[in-house]
Amino acid sequence: MTQQEFWIVYLCCLATMLVCRCVPIFVLKGRELPPRVSQALSLIPPAAFAALVANDLFQPGLWAESPTRALVPLAASCLVCGVAVKTKSLALCAVAGVVAYALLGLLPF
């Protein structure tokens, strides 16, 4: 890829991201969204968090390589589920998950 092609692709991606992120903000500024849309938008953070967790839980290569090592993300996710039920805080869930994953990753398997 030449430098000119790179800049063309870069600028096209930049323009697309700006349009997708900024235009809705300006178009919807000062308007109240319908309840169903607000409800749907409120599901985005938990869905993103679930996608991140699922990415770590379902790694076939890790299960084939070391089943005990593959249990680290599963154990950390169980701890996060407990924190979620108790606190209902996404921030605390994220912190608990990172800490549990890091500490369990230090165990010798």
d(Cα 38, Cα 36) in Å, to the nearest integer? 5
pLDDT for 92: 95
pTM of the model: 0.54
pLDDT, residue 70, reads 82
pLDDT at residue 56, as a whole number: 73
Mean pLDDT by 10 residues, the chain (109 residues): 95 95 88 91 89 79 80 88 93 93 87
Contact 49, 81 (CB under 8 A): no
What is the pLDDT, as a whole number, of residue 55?
79
